[in-house]
C-alpha cells in the first residue's frame, strides 16, 4: 500500500453560486478514494488575476491521500466536470477550479501535471488561505509580494 501524502488543493469559483460550489468542493475532497480532508482554510473573495469577470470565492484545503499525483489530478478534474466546468479559453470565468498546488515534497513535470503548481507563490488567492492552514509553507516575502492583489476573508 502507498504511503499517505499530504497534498494541497487550491479551490476557486466565480460563476453561479460560487460560495456553494467552493463549499461543496471542499466537502467532496474528503470523499475521494483513499483520501481524507485534513484541514481547510476560510473562504476568501478575490479579484480575477490576468482575467476579467466577477470576483472569485477561493480557499485552500489539505488532503491526506494514498492516490498518486496524477490520480489526484484526475479526481479533481472529475469534480470540476460535475460542477459544469468548461474551458472555452485560458483564464475564463469558471463554475469550479481545482488546482493541485503541492503533493508532499514531490516535483513533477509532465505534459499534464506540474507540481508544485508553477504560479502558486505568485497568487494572493493561494498564499493567503495557504498561510492560514500551513503557515510554515508561506514566507513573509511571498505574502509581501502579493499585497497589491485584492483579497478579503469572507466572514
Question: Cell 483579497 sits at which residue?
Answer: 151
Catalytic residue status for 71: no
Catalytic residue status for 87: no
Which candidate in 87, 97, 107, 123 is catalytic?
Answer: 97
Which candidate in 94, 107, 123, 153 is catalytic?
Answer: 94
Catalytic residue status for 99: yes
d(C-alpha 18, C-alpha 21), whole Å: 5
17 alpha carbon, distance to own chain's centre: 17
145 alpha carbon, distance to own chain's centre: 19
Element (H, E) at 72: helix 69-82
Catalytic residue status for 85: yes
Closest CA relative to residue 100, chosen from 37, 26, 11, 9: 9
Q: Is cis: bond before 100, omega within 30 of 0?
A: no
Which candidate in 40, 45, 99, 123 is catalytic?
Answer: 99
State the DSSP code for 38.
E
Closest CA relative to residue 79, chosen from 105, 61, 106, 103: 61
Which candidate in 28, 40, 45, 85 is catalytic?
Answer: 85
Report, as residue numbers or ranges, the catalytic residues: 85, 94, 97, 99
Amino acid at each position: 500500500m502507498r504511503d499517505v501524502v499530504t497534498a494541497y488543493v487550491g479551490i476557486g469559483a466565480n460563476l453561479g453560486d460560487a460560495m456553494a460550489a467552493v463549499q461543496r468542493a471542499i466537502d467532496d475532497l474528503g470523499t475521494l478514494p483513499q483520501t481524507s480532508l485534513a484541514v481547510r482554510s476560510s473562504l476568501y473573495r478575490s479579484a480575477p488575476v490576468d482575467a476579467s469577470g466577477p470576483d472569485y470565492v477561493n480557499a485552500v484545503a489539505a488532503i491526506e491521500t494514498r492516490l498518486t499525483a496524477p490520480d489526484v489530478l484526475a479526481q479533481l478534474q472529475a469534480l470540476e466536470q460535475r460542477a459544469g466546468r468548461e474551458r472555452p479559453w485560458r483564464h475564463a470565468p469558471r463554475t469550479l477550479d481545482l488546482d493541485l498546488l503541492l503533493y508532499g515534497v514531490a516535483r513533477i513535470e509532465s505534459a499534464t501535471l506540474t507540481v508544485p503548481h508553477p504560479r502558486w507563490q505568485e497568487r494572493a488567492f493561494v498564499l493567503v488561505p495557504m498561510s492560514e492552514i500551513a503557515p510554515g509553507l508561506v514566507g513573509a516575502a511571498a505574502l509581501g509580494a502579493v499585497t497589491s492583489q485584492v483579497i478579503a476573508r469572507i466572514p
